[in-house]
């Protein structure tokens, strides 16, 4: 082992220097490439001392924006039976929590942060970084107090990094067809998913894109193809376990019809 730290983001290899690579290596296992792999970009974190995992992840994601060959979306994503469900949106809408809850229910893992849409096929590949959970998320998922368990590490700023394997899931590195796009709303209580129009999905996808300006019309066409081919849903994630059940039902084909009678009365979380 050379000590180099090379992280892959959306097909782009990025070497991280100026960080405590030994400490980071154990947390970033699912997104590392062999340390003798050539790097397309270098991120120098300077002499700031040991860098937090979140700092490194943000830096390498930024470094991938320009060279990435696909349309990068800020989105969580899970897979079952070769079909993906995307949760596009800004931070704070519950993407990571919903993604983690889905993994606990048997989904495989694409990302809690970023996917790349293939400009030609519309399929997505993920970035299976460790899930970065807030204290509220960790407690909601029954992971509070789990720091130190295999694949679970406190990484500063109150966050817990959780490997997919610690949630019983496998990272998926292949390209996957998108079956559903779920617009998660943290202020929504327990209610059945509501179908949304393709135009609304497209607005959300465009708003969640990092690098549409790099690919111009091809990115717009890919986003429109994705929005037009996947089913769009609005889903409250105030009760995250129930929301994960709803996501599973979407892929089972039962969708909102599987929702228990009278279960739409829940309010936002306290």
Partner 1 sequence: MPVAATSVRELEIDGEITLFHEPTQTALVLNTTASDVWRLIDGHRSAADIAALLASSYGADPEVVRTDVESALDTLSGHDLVATAPG
Residue with smaller CB distance to partner 1, 173 or 225: 225
Binding of partner 1 by 202 (CB under 8 A) = yes
Residue with smaller CB distance to partner 1, 58 or 197: 197
Exactly one of 82, 135, 199, 268 binds partner 1 (CB under 8 A); which one?
199
- Interface map 27-56 toward partner 1 (x if CB under 8 A): ------------------------------
CB 249 within 8 A of CB 197: no
- Interface map 207-246 toward partner 1 (x if CB under 8 A): -----xx--xx--xx-xx--xx------------------
What's the CA gap between 11 and 9, in Å, rounded? Answer: 5
H-only helix segments in 70-156? 95-104, 135-140
Q: Which structure tokens are listed for 14? A: 């990025």
Nearest in space to 62 (alpha carbons), one of 50, 45, 76, 38? 45
What's the CA gap between 109 and 129, in Å, rounded? Answer: 9
What's the CA gap between 134 and 234, in Å, rounded? Answer: 23
Residue with smaller CB distance to partner 1, 74 or 212: 212
What's the CA gap between 10 and 187, in Å, rounded? Answer: 31
Residue with smaller CB distance to partner 1, 4 or 203: 203
Q: Taking the complex as a whole, how short is the minimal distance between the CB of residue 196 and partner 1, in angstroms? A: 10
Which residues of the shown chain bind partner 1 in the complex (CB under 8 A)? 197-199, 202-203, 206, 212-213, 216-217, 220-221, 223-224, 227-228
């Amino acid at each position: 082992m050379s000590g180099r730290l090379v992280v892959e983001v959306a097909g782009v290899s990025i070497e991280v220097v100026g960080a405590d690579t030994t400490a980071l290596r154990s947390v970033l296992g699912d997104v590392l490439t062999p340390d003798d792999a050539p790097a397309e970009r270098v991120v120098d974190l300077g002499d700031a001392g040991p860098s937090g995992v979140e700092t490194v992840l943000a830096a390498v994601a930024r470094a991938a924006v320009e060279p990435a060959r696909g349309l990068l979306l800020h989105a969580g994503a899970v897979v079952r039976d070769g079909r993906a469900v995307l949760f596009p949106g800004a931070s704070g809408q519950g993407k990571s929590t919903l993604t983690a809850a889905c993994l606990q229910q048997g989904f495989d893992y694409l990302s809690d942060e970023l996917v790349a849409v293939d400009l030609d096929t519309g399929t997505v590949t993920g970035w299976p970084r460790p899930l970065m959970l807030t204290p509220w998320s960790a407690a909601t998922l029954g992971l509070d107090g789990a720091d130190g368990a295999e694949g679970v590490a406190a990484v500063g700023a109150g966050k817990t990094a959780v490997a997919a394997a610690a949630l019983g899931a496998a990272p998926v590195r292949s390209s996957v067809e998108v079956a559903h796009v779920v617009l998660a709303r943290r202020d929504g209580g327990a209610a059945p998913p509501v179908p949304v129009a393709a135009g609304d999905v497209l607005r959300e996808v465009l708003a969640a894109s990092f690098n549409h300006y790099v690919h111009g019309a091809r990115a717009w066409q890919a986003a429109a193809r994705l929005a037009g081919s996947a089913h769009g849903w609005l889903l409250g994630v105030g009760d995250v376990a129930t929301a994960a059940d709803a996501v599973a039902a979407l892929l089972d084909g039962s969708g909102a019809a599987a929702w228990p009678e009278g279960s739409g009365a829940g309010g936002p979380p306290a």
